[in-house]
Amino acid sequence: MGIIVISAYKPKEGKAEPLKELMRTHLPRLHNEGLVTDRQSIMMEAADGTIIEVFEWLSKEAVEKAHTNPNVLQMWAEYGEVCDYVPIGTVSEAAQLFSSFKPFA
């Protein structure tokens, strides 16, 4: 059984478009490494520009493998250049009973 996670990526100043481009490659790159299921991710954008992604790791072991996989580590370095990872609870919409976001574009 997979592990579904919710991740939030807040773009650094002037890096919103590069983050969006990188987000489009996230799941395919993880899939190529055999780390995620075939389930499509759901991506959305908060009012402050934070990108929220819901996706499914293949297993706990896959998450652990990601932390030593050179291709994943390279991808995470690319993320570090364009965004900060933030807890979903810091995204203002997450405090609403029915959180709504813009579709990812």
For the chain, the domains span: 3-89
CA–CA separation, 35 and 61 (whole Å): 9
What pLDDT was estimated at residue 105? 76
What pLDDT was estimated at residue 11? 98
What pLDDT was estimated at residue 1? 78
Which whole number is the average pLDDT over 27-54? Answer: 97
- CA neighbours within 13 Å on the CB side: how many for 93? 15
* Residue type for position 89: G
**Helices 70-82 and 16-32 sit at what angle, rounded to 10 degrees?**
170
Q: Is the pLDDT of residue 26 over 80?
A: yes
Q: Which CATH architecture has domain 3-89?
A: 2-Layer Sandwich (3.30)
Which whole number is the average pLDDT over 23-47? Answer: 97
Which whole number is the average pLDDT over 72-77? Answer: 98
CA–CA separation, 98 and 73 (whole Å): 34
Nearest to 67 by CA among 105, 35, 38: 35
What pLDDT was estimated at residue 14? 97
